[in-house]
Amino acid sequence: MKIIDILNSKEVTLSYEVFPPKKDMPFEPIVAAVDKLCMDKPDFMSVTYGAGGGIGHNTIKIADHVQNDLGVTSLAHLTCISSTKEQVAEAIEGIKAAGIENILALRGDIPADFQGTTTCDFRYASDLVREIKKHGDFCIGAACYPEGHTECEHKADDIRHLKEKVDAGVDFLTTQMFFDNNMLYNFLYRIREKGITVPVIAGIMPVTNGKQIARSCQLSGAELPARFKAIVDKFGDNPEAMKQAGIAYATDQIIDLIANGVRGIHIYTMNKPDVAQSIRNNLSHIIGSDRK
C-alpha cells in the first residue's frame, strides 16, 4: 500500500523506523527487534539505508521481511551521494522486485570509510526523486528539517531547496528529530506559506541514553530546550531513570503534536521494541488500540 494513501485515509498515523545491522554485525537480532515492533501493527515501518555506501541489500531484505512476511507496509530508504546511476537503478529494481511501493529519497552522507570518489550523477535528493520516478509508480517521501539543514546557512534557502525537492515529485515529508514542538509549528507555517502542501510526518526520537544525545544533536542540528536539558542533567547517569524520563518526554511531545493537529507521528525506535511499545501503550486511547 502507498503511504500517501494511508496518510490520507487515517486521522492520525503512527509509524516506526529501524536500521539494518552495521558491517560485520549479526543480522538475527535486528530481525528479532523488527518482529517485535511489527506486533504493534504500525501504519508503516521505514528501514534506513545500509551503512558503507553499498546498494542497501540489508535495507531491502528487512523491508521485504516487514512487508511480505509480517504484513506491515514498508518504506525503504535510498541515498545517492556516493552512488552511481547504475547502483541506484539496481537498488530501485531490488525494491520493486520485493513489491515495495514506498521509497524515502535522501541525499545521504558520504560514509566515513568510503574508498571511492563521489560522482556527479546525484548532487541533491531532488535528483534522486526524479530518477526514482523514471523507474515506476512509487510513493516517494523525503526529509525536512524544522530547525534548518545543518549545511544551509539561511532557513529561507533551506525551504527553497525543500520546495524544489517537493516539486520534483515528493508525496510526503518526514522531519528530522526535534525536541521543541514550537520549532515544528513555526516550520509548518513557513513551508505552507511557500506553497509546500504535502503531508508532513513528525519524527520523534525517544532519548533513553543521556550520553548519546550530544552526538545526535551535533549531527542533526537539533536544539535542546531547557526543560529537556534539565531531564538529561538530572537522570543522564541513571540508565533506568533516563529511559523512563525519555519515554515520558517523547510521549508528551506526541500528545501535544496530535492535540495541535499533526496527523503523522514517526518514532525513531533505534531498534528498541520496549521503548517504542511503551510509548505506544501511553497513547492507547489517544491514537486508538486497533492498528489493523
Residue 53 is predicted with a pLDDT of: 43
Alpha-carbon span 15 to 19, nearest angstrom: 14
* Mean pLDDT to the nearest integer, 174-190: 96
Over residues 88-122, the pLDDT tens digits come to: 999 999 999 999 999 999 988 665 555 555 556 78
* Mean pLDDT to the nearest integer, 185-214: 92
pLDDT band at 21 (very low <50, low <70, confident <90, very high): confident
Q: Which residues have a Cβ under 8 Å from the Cβ of 72 and sit 6 or more positions away? A: 38, 41, 42, 44, 45, 66
Residue 110 is predicted with a pLDDT of: 61
Write down the pTM of the prediction.
0.92
**Domains of the chain, each with CATH number or no CATH:** 3-282 (3.20.20.220)
pLDDT band at 290 (very low <50, low <70, confident <90, very high): very low
| Cα dihedral 65, 68, 72, 75 sign | positive
Residue 136 clears pLDDT 60, i.e. is over it: yes
Which residues are designated catalytic? 17
* Mean pLDDT to the nearest integer, 38-45: 96
Residue 157 is predicted with a pLDDT of: 84
pLDDT band at 144 (very low <50, low <70, confident <90, very high): very high
Alpha-carbon span 103 to 115, nearest angstrom: 26
| Residue 193 burial (10 A CB sphere; 0-12, 13-18, 19+) | exposed
Over residues 153-166, the pLDDT tens digits come to: 567 888 999 999 99
Answer with the residue of higher pLDDT: 25 or 241.
241
Mean of the per-residue pLDDT values of the chain: 89
Instruction: Please enumerate, as own/partner, the contacts of 223-229 that have beta carbons within 8 Å and a separation of 24 or more.
Output: 223/147, 223/179, 223/180, 223/183, 224/179, 225/179, 225/180, 228/179
Residues in the chain: 292
Answer with the residue of higher pLDDT: 118 or 2.
2
* Mean pLDDT to the nearest integer, 246-269: 97
Residue 22 is predicted with a pLDDT of: 79
Q: Which residues have a Cβ under 8 Å from the Cβ of 154 and sit 6 or more positions away? A: 148
Residue 242 clears pLDDT 80, i.e. is over it: yes
* Mean pLDDT to the nearest integer, 227-252: 94
pLDDT band at 45 (very low <50, low <70, confident <90, very high): very high
Helix (H, G, I), strand (E, B) or coil at 198: coil
Strand partners, 102: 139
Residue 75 clears pLDDT 70, i.e. is over it: yes
Residue 119 grid coordinates: 560522482
